[in-house]
Structure 1
């Protein structure tokens, strides 16, 4: 399988980094059973350990009261794989931004997004978590804060799953949906993302159709994802209807023409039977003209898609502006007239810098 220069660089960088200390979080019942048996413990302790990690949220093996004291002392220093809360802020819409410190001192960001009842009161029916998959991001999209801070490394399986458990514990509510839309490009960390998806589904108990993986598009990686025949939602950050404009907004697009990206997306639909969602950030005077909407409709016609129009969320480093409501609705109307499924998605957590495109792993 061929790889883009960017993908090769990221893979090489991660290969050179020292291995993270193995952690138990993210492991299945079978894996945990094998692990406890290696210490001479009976097999049923694997299920006990699984329950304490995923249901009780234990952070240290020494706190598992059903284990013998002597064995707890023996394994006390083995990491479960939980992060430390570095910073927490709450937006007016009750969205919560968390900065989490990892075992090596790196900081990542995750966001908890609760649903609301009819009168604006928090509802227990839905809680979405936006998780990061890398420390930083190598994609450097021009309008996004995440890529401005550079790239450090991929997240391990346990570091992704931990974000969901952290939000679940803080809200005291089961997480219903997870979107891989935080720091980083998930398909540059495919192995750990696939492992985290499996754990979130089988260990945490979140249905596959409630899991969404977002990507800017890495050559061959969407095709690779399709081969796993998952029932997750694939969201592709398109942001432009043609190659020239996409290159202006997304530097990595120079190595991956829009025609090739869309061809791979069509293959994904054919293989999985799942439609592809296209994310399109609307930037005033840049990609929000009627002719852009018509061109986008032409590109997407003929296969199962849905477009999420995302009015731009401002960041300090660039001067892009959000289109006014009339312009946003006009773009939406054109797509609908062209028989393209479309929704306008106003981001949550805006004033807490927790909205789409604003994540930067800092508390500034």
Structure 2
């Protein structure tokens, strides 16, 4: 009897799809030319309605596919962007309308990087400036290896989807539809976890940042979940990025760097891109945040030590003016309790010579 009721319920629910001429199926395993519609099929979120594609629709799909060469050259597949994509959709690489996009699958992760080694963060739809003449490659791995060999004269690799990769010298980003940049960075500490290591999403927008930061450094707490091991801190990083991008509508995670109570320093936007951490101060300060709510207690010693290491590195690299800059708490610049009384008092205890410094 229970089985009969369940089957009747499924048939009833699916009629919303079948009345449109569609078919309910697990969208992860079937490409649907006309696209999928959600919430009109019985079952979990993977069971979606594949809309009917008429002979005219099929003929248009065949015609549109003639313009897919840039996507296929990138190892991707063109399809309606409501279809499942185990990677990221990119526009401007496929024939047809705006909803027909290139699904580029997840690349194999780079091997773990030792301290002093190079990592490469991926950015869809952007290129770096300063193309190095004569340095063109047919494979990403060859281009990355060459970029590492060139040291500080190479800032990263750009795939222009014309069948080759080229090298750049500048960390200045600019929009470039259909291109992908692999920004090079150095793993400067065993504590440091770059974007590629915690599998950050590609941003939807980039604003370049002038270094050294013209004013200084602002410290925050996320006021969210605490984390004391790498797995939970990575989960926090992904959750914070999703919240900032999907709920707040920002282009990326807001902070340039985040600190966990596992003692690690996680790369957010990084030093080359402007953050979204403190209204009216984003263009001239670097923002970092300790993950957790510290309104009633200090972060543990692991996190406090990681903050000190981050600040020392920013000074050493002159990303903040090592001769004079202001280190402030978020509450000094905006009406907020951030970073919490205990943490704010710790930073103002006299240990930090640039705390509230006027330059």
Q: TM-score by structure 1 length?
A: 0.26
- Answer 1 or 2: which has greater strand percent: 2
Q: Which has the higher contact order (CA 8 A, sep 6+)?
A: 1
Q: TM-score by structure 2 length?
A: 0.26
- Answer 1 or 2: which has greater helix percent: 1
Larger Rg belongs to: 2
